[in-house]
Chains A and B, each alone.
Chain A
Amino acid sequence: MARALTKRKTDGTLYVRPTAIERQIDEVSSLGLLELRQRLMVADKKAGGYLQSETLVHLIRLSILENRPEVSGTVLPFLLGRCERNLNVTVSDDLRDATMVREDILGEFSELLALDVTTGSGVLDYYEVHFNSAFAALRVNVVRKALTRLKYESEPESSDLPDDDLFGQPDSLVKKLIDNLSEPPTQEWKLRGKLLLKAINQLPNKERKAVMLVHYYGYLQGSDDPSQITAATLCNCTPKTIYNRLQRAEKKLAAFKE
């Protein structure tokens, strides 16, 4: 049985590995290096012998802890290869210096693996629970840092737009499109969704934030109740500013109304 994880969920309870991962860890712990390598060569995620990335992280952690570099030396290139393939599709070529950013993410992940055992940070627990989601957190964060370095836009605030419907949730087409992204019914919707996300990504940061907070997360633009979290409180501005940012964004995304 693999050792217990130490990180906690938002409700304070300890994270546990999914049962299938626990079972796989038990199964592979008795494998020799040759058998392990054979299992690592199973590339199809749907195949029975496929080793989950969560299991690979566990094996690497354990090998560092037990000073068995031959295990981490065998497993790590496969895990990093998976990460690289993931980054090739998830980090868009549209991003300037995309190759460098992908390499940064791979490098940061490598350092995370090397430092975890020594520092006792336990951050790799997240990768043993849900590798893809944890890796997405790292990826999104590194891409954000890269964008911050590259993007210096200053967005003038406009306050001359009307403030009617201020606290309403507009029946926006953008919202409908975002809602449909989760279950795209057709290839056409997939294409439309890709274009929409690209357009949202190209909005100035403040408008993008307003669009996503209101239309994806469903926050109210503002509220009379000071204790309520709204798009305005999250953006540290007035509800009217949120409204204006939404108006400007809607105009830029008007092409999707066709």
Chain B
Amino acid sequence: MIRPAEVPQRSFEDALYLLSIEKNMPDAALLDEVIRACPEFSEELTDFAIDLAIDRCSNQIRDEEAVPSMVALENVSPAVSRALSRFQNCLHSVQSTEVSGSVIKTLHAVSLSREAVNPFAHLSRGQYRDIAKNLDVNTVFLSKFRDRQIVPTSIPVAFQRRLASEVDVPIELLAAHLAAAQGAPHGQLYKADKKPSNQAQQSFEEAVRGSGLDPEQQKALLEL
């Protein structure tokens, strides 16, 4: 066994998988353990654990899947066909994007630590406003992505793609930023009397509804 100090920080995604694969039926001991490892996600993990338990209970009483016929195996359904296209498009976009060695290094480092490059850091105020305008959102909403105030897994992939494209970074780099720990970068100056502290993360939907966006903007974002 390795010492606690050597255990890398876990992402929210890791915590979900741990809850799901460590035991056949999730129990309180496992949930406690995962929540203690990721206290910042305790509410989301609890909600997930409830749904996971119901899913597992359903599996227990579900009839066994029938063995598919040879014809069913040979046929590629429209849904699988679309998923294959999504795989190819994603692979192509990743392979054709000129991801520099330093970006790759950053991405690997993110999985080991909680530090990540903030792709918004280099933007001027004008650029920042232009990005918000191009995305048809306001700067309040955009700032929630910059400051990692949104639960990353709740952000639709389509919006992540648009945001990455506007900020002009590979989607993996944006995803790494969104998944990294909250908090002001070292050396950041602040005007408030008190040092800024981490805020509880919101879901994408909560951010959409709580950022002063007009109803049309909200509708468009929630349909993504």
Give A residues with C-beta under 8 Å from B: 7-13, 40-41, 43-45, 64, 76-78, 80-81, 84-86, 89-90, 99, 102-103, 106-111, 113-115, 118-123, 126, 129-130, 133-134, 136-137, 139-141, 143-145, 148-149, 178, 181-184, 189-190, 193-194, 197, 200-201, 205, 208-209, 212-213, 216-219, 229, 234-236
Digitize B24-60: 1 where CB-to-A-CB distance is under 8 Å, 0 elsewhere.
Answer: 1111101111110100001100111111111111111
User: Chain A: interface secondary structure?
Assistant: helix
Q: A110-B84, A181-B60, A194-B61 are in contact. Are A115 and B94 (CB under 8 A)?
A: yes
CB pair B87 A111 closer than 8 Å = yes
- With CB as the reference atom, state the residue of chain B lying closest to A234: B46
- With CB as the reference atom, state the residue of chain B lying closest to A88: B65
Q: A84-B79, A217-B49 are in contact. Are A182 and B60 (CB under 8 A)?
A: yes
- With CB as the reference atom, state the residue of chain A lying closest to B75: A81
- Tell me if B132 counts as interface (CB < 8 A to partner A): no
Partner of A218 from the list B28, B37, B73 (CB cut-off 8 Å) is: B28
Task: State A84–B17 Cα separation when bound (angstroms).
Answer: 20
B220 cross-chain contacts in A, Cβ below 8 A: none
CB pair B46 A213 closer than 8 Å = yes
- Tell me if B135 counts as interface (CB < 8 A to partner A): no
CB pair A12 B7 closer than 8 Å = yes
Task: State A143–B58 Cα separation when bound (angstroms).
Answer: 15
Query: Which stretch, B8-16, B122-130, B137-145, B185-193, touches the partner chain A?
Result: B8-16
- Tell me if B19 counts as interface (CB < 8 A to partner A): yes
- Tell me if B111 counts as interface (CB < 8 A to partner A): yes
Q: 21 A-B pairs, CB-CB below 8 angstroms?
A: A8-B7, A10-B30, A45-B67, A77-B84, A80-B83, A81-B76, A102-B79, A106-B79, A110-B83, A111-B86, A119-B172, A133-B20, A134-B17, A136-B52, A136-B59, A141-B153, A148-B154, A148-B205, A149-B222, A184-B61, A234-B35
- Tell me if B184 counts as interface (CB < 8 A to partner A): no
Q: Shortest distance in angstroms between A72's beta carbon and chain B's nearest beta carbon? A: 8
Q: Shortest distance in angstroms between A169's beta carbon and chain B's nearest beta carbon? A: 12
- Tell me if B121 counts as interface (CB < 8 A to partner A): no
CB pair B62 A137 closer than 8 Å = no
Q: A77-B76, A103-B82 are in contact. Are A137 and B21 (CB under 8 A)?
A: yes
- With CB as the reference atom, state the residue of chain B lying closest to A193: B61
- Count residues on chain B whose CB falls below 8 Å from chain A CBs: 82
A235 cross-chain contacts in B, Cβ below 8 A: 46
Q: Shortest distance in angstroms between A44's beta carbon and chain B's nearest beta carbon? A: 5
Contacts A12-B1, A229-B32 aside, 5 further interface pairs with beta carbons under 8 A come to: A64-B91, A114-B87, A181-B57, A217-B26, A236-B43
Q: A81-B76, A111-B157 are in contact. Are A10 and B37 (CB under 8 A)?
A: yes
A111 cross-chain contacts in B, Cβ below 8 A: 86-87, 90, 157
CB pair A209 B50 closer than 8 Å = yes
- With CB as the reference atom, state the residue of chain A lying closest to B16: A137
CB pair B76 A134 closer than 8 Å = no
Task: State A116–B176 Cα separation when bound (angstroms).
Answer: 13
Task: State A13–B172 Cα separation when bound (angstroms).
Answer: 27
B73 cross-chain contacts in A, Cβ below 8 A: 40-41, 43, 78, 81
